[in-house]
Structure 1
Amino acid sequence: MMGWYGGAGWAAALAMGVFWLLLAGVVVWAVVRAAAPPDPGDDARRILDRRLASGEIDVATYRTLRDELDARPPRRTRR
Protein backbone atom coordinates (compact mmCIF):
# COMPACT_ATOMS: atom_id res chain seq x y z
CA MET A 1 0.00 0.00 0.00
CA MET A 2 1.46 3.29 -1.06
CA GLY A 3 1.13 6.46 0.97
CA TRP A 4 0.72 10.02 -0.19
CA TYR A 5 4.34 10.37 -1.22
CA GLY A 6 4.87 7.00 -2.82
CA GLY A 7 2.36 7.09 -5.64
CA ALA A 8 0.14 9.50 -7.50
CA GLY A 9 -1.60 10.70 -4.35
CA TRP A 10 0.16 14.07 -4.48
CA ALA A 11 -1.22 14.68 -7.98
CA ALA A 12 -4.74 13.85 -6.83
CA ALA A 13 -4.38 16.16 -3.83
CA LEU A 14 -3.07 18.94 -6.06
CA ALA A 15 -5.92 18.46 -8.53
CA MET A 16 -8.45 18.52 -5.69
CA GLY A 17 -6.92 21.71 -4.29
CA VAL A 18 -7.00 23.41 -7.69
CA PHE A 19 -10.61 22.31 -8.17
CA TRP A 20 -11.74 23.82 -4.85
CA LEU A 21 -9.81 27.04 -5.46
CA LEU A 22 -11.41 27.43 -8.90
CA LEU A 23 -14.85 26.67 -7.49
CA ALA A 24 -14.39 29.26 -4.73
CA GLY A 25 -13.17 31.79 -7.31
CA VAL A 26 -16.23 31.26 -9.49
CA VAL A 27 -18.56 31.67 -6.51
CA VAL A 28 -16.82 34.90 -5.42
CA TRP A 29 -16.91 36.23 -8.99
CA ALA A 30 -20.64 35.48 -9.29
CA VAL A 31 -21.45 37.17 -5.97
CA VAL A 32 -19.43 40.28 -6.83
CA ARG A 33 -20.98 40.49 -10.28
CA ALA A 34 -24.50 40.14 -8.88
CA ALA A 35 -23.84 42.83 -6.27
CA ALA A 36 -22.48 45.34 -8.81
CA PRO A 37 -24.68 48.37 -9.37
CA PRO A 38 -26.61 48.47 -12.64
CA ASP A 39 -25.46 50.66 -15.49
CA PRO A 40 -26.86 54.18 -14.95
CA GLY A 41 -27.41 54.54 -18.70
CA ASP A 42 -30.16 51.93 -18.52
CA ASP A 43 -32.05 53.95 -15.92
CA ALA A 44 -31.70 57.14 -17.95
CA ARG A 45 -33.03 55.39 -21.06
CA ARG A 46 -36.02 54.02 -19.12
CA ILE A 47 -36.82 57.46 -17.72
CA LEU A 48 -36.57 58.97 -21.18
CA ASP A 49 -38.88 56.30 -22.61
CA ARG A 50 -41.38 56.91 -19.80
CA ARG A 51 -41.35 60.68 -20.42
CA LEU A 52 -42.07 60.14 -24.12
CA ALA A 53 -44.87 57.67 -23.38
CA SER A 54 -46.53 60.03 -20.91
CA GLY A 55 -46.37 62.96 -23.34
CA GLU A 56 -43.93 65.09 -21.32
CA ILE A 57 -41.61 65.37 -24.32
CA ASP A 58 -42.16 65.18 -28.06
CA VAL A 59 -40.43 62.82 -30.49
CA ALA A 60 -37.85 65.40 -31.62
CA THR A 61 -36.79 66.07 -28.02
CA TYR A 62 -36.74 62.35 -27.33
CA ARG A 63 -34.42 61.71 -30.28
CA THR A 64 -32.11 64.56 -29.28
CA LEU A 65 -31.84 63.34 -25.69
CA ARG A 66 -31.44 59.71 -26.77
CA ASP A 67 -28.61 60.68 -29.11
CA GLU A 68 -26.92 62.55 -26.26
CA LEU A 69 -27.22 59.50 -24.03
CA ASP A 70 -25.76 57.28 -26.74
CA ALA A 71 -22.88 59.71 -27.35
CA ARG A 72 -21.77 59.64 -23.70
CA PRO A 73 -18.72 57.50 -23.03
CA PRO A 74 -19.72 54.40 -21.07
CA ARG A 75 -19.17 54.65 -17.34
CA ARG A 76 -16.55 52.22 -16.20
CA THR A 77 -17.47 49.90 -13.38
CA ARG A 78 -15.58 47.14 -11.70
CA ARG A 79 -16.87 44.02 -13.42
Structure 2
Amino acid sequence: MMGGYGVGMGVGWVFMGLFWVLLIAAIVWLVVSLVRSGHRTDDGMPVPPPATGFGPASAPSSLELLDRRLAAGEIDLATYQQVRAALRESGTR
Protein backbone atom coordinates (compact mmCIF):
# COMPACT_ATOMS: atom_id res chain seq x y z
CA MET A 1 0.00 0.00 0.00
CA MET A 2 2.81 2.40 0.75
CA GLY A 3 4.56 1.72 -2.53
CA GLY A 4 7.76 0.50 -0.91
CA TYR A 5 8.62 3.74 0.88
CA GLY A 6 8.76 2.19 4.35
CA VAL A 7 11.03 -0.74 3.56
CA GLY A 8 14.46 0.97 3.61
CA MET A 9 13.77 3.89 5.92
CA GLY A 10 14.85 2.06 9.10
CA VAL A 11 18.34 1.58 7.70
CA GLY A 12 18.38 5.14 6.34
CA TRP A 13 17.65 6.64 9.76
CA VAL A 14 20.43 4.59 11.31
CA PHE A 15 22.97 5.79 8.74
CA MET A 16 21.80 9.38 9.03
CA GLY A 17 22.10 9.26 12.83
CA LEU A 18 25.54 7.66 12.58
CA PHE A 19 26.63 10.35 10.12
CA TRP A 20 25.64 13.16 12.50
CA VAL A 21 27.28 11.49 15.50
CA LEU A 22 30.53 11.08 13.56
CA LEU A 23 30.37 14.64 12.22
CA ILE A 24 29.87 16.13 15.69
CA ALA A 25 32.64 13.92 17.13
CA ALA A 26 35.02 15.07 14.36
CA ILE A 27 34.24 18.73 15.07
CA VAL A 28 34.79 18.26 18.81
CA TRP A 29 38.08 16.44 18.16
CA LEU A 30 39.25 19.21 15.81
CA VAL A 31 38.45 21.97 18.32
CA VAL A 32 40.16 20.12 21.18
CA SER A 33 43.28 19.41 19.13
CA LEU A 34 43.51 23.04 17.96
CA VAL A 35 43.13 24.32 21.51
CA ARG A 36 45.78 21.94 22.83
CA SER A 37 48.28 22.72 20.07
CA GLY A 38 47.83 26.44 20.65
CA HIS A 39 49.02 26.12 24.24
CA ARG A 40 52.33 24.37 23.58
CA THR A 41 55.73 25.62 22.50
CA ASP A 42 57.84 23.99 19.80
CA ASP A 43 59.53 21.70 22.31
CA GLY A 44 56.19 20.50 23.72
CA MET A 45 56.34 22.50 26.95
CA PRO A 46 53.06 24.10 28.00
CA VAL A 47 52.81 27.84 27.60
CA PRO A 48 52.28 29.58 30.95
CA PRO A 49 48.87 31.22 31.30
CA PRO A 50 48.67 34.95 30.66
CA ALA A 51 48.98 37.32 33.59
CA THR A 52 45.55 38.15 34.97
CA GLY A 53 46.52 40.50 37.77
CA PHE A 54 46.19 37.76 40.36
CA GLY A 55 49.34 36.15 41.71
CA PRO A 56 52.94 36.80 40.68
CA ALA A 57 53.40 39.34 37.90
CA SER A 58 56.75 38.07 36.64
CA ALA A 59 57.34 35.05 34.46
CA PRO A 60 59.56 32.28 35.85
CA SER A 61 63.25 32.68 35.10
CA SER A 62 65.18 30.37 32.80
CA LEU A 63 66.83 28.70 35.79
CA GLU A 64 63.43 28.08 37.42
CA LEU A 65 62.13 26.51 34.22
CA LEU A 66 65.27 24.37 34.01
CA ASP A 67 64.76 23.25 37.62
CA ARG A 68 61.14 22.30 36.83
CA ARG A 69 62.16 20.27 33.79
CA LEU A 70 64.70 18.33 35.87
CA ALA A 71 62.12 17.73 38.61
CA ALA A 72 59.58 16.52 36.04
CA GLY A 73 62.12 14.08 34.59
CA GLU A 74 62.12 15.70 31.15
CA ILE A 75 65.92 16.09 31.15
CA ASP A 76 68.71 14.12 32.78
CA LEU A 77 71.20 15.44 35.34
CA ALA A 78 74.08 15.82 32.84
CA THR A 79 71.94 17.94 30.50
CA TYR A 80 70.69 19.95 33.48
CA GLN A 81 74.22 20.73 34.66
CA GLN A 82 75.40 21.61 31.16
CA VAL A 83 72.50 23.98 30.45
CA ARG A 84 72.67 25.52 33.93
CA ALA A 85 76.40 26.30 33.44
CA ALA A 86 75.70 27.82 30.04
CA LEU A 87 72.90 29.98 31.48
CA ARG A 88 75.11 31.20 34.32
CA GLU A 89 77.94 32.06 31.89
CA SER A 90 75.63 34.06 29.66
CA GLY A 91 74.10 35.87 32.64
CA THR A 92 70.59 34.78 31.71
CA ARG A 93 68.07 34.99 34.53
Could you tell me the TM-score, scaled by structure 1's length? 0.48
Could you tell me the TM-score, scaled by structure 2's length? 0.42
Q: Per chain length, whose mean CA-contact separation is higher, i.e. which structure has more relative contact order (CA < 8 Å, sep 6+)?
A: 1
Structure with higher helix content: 1
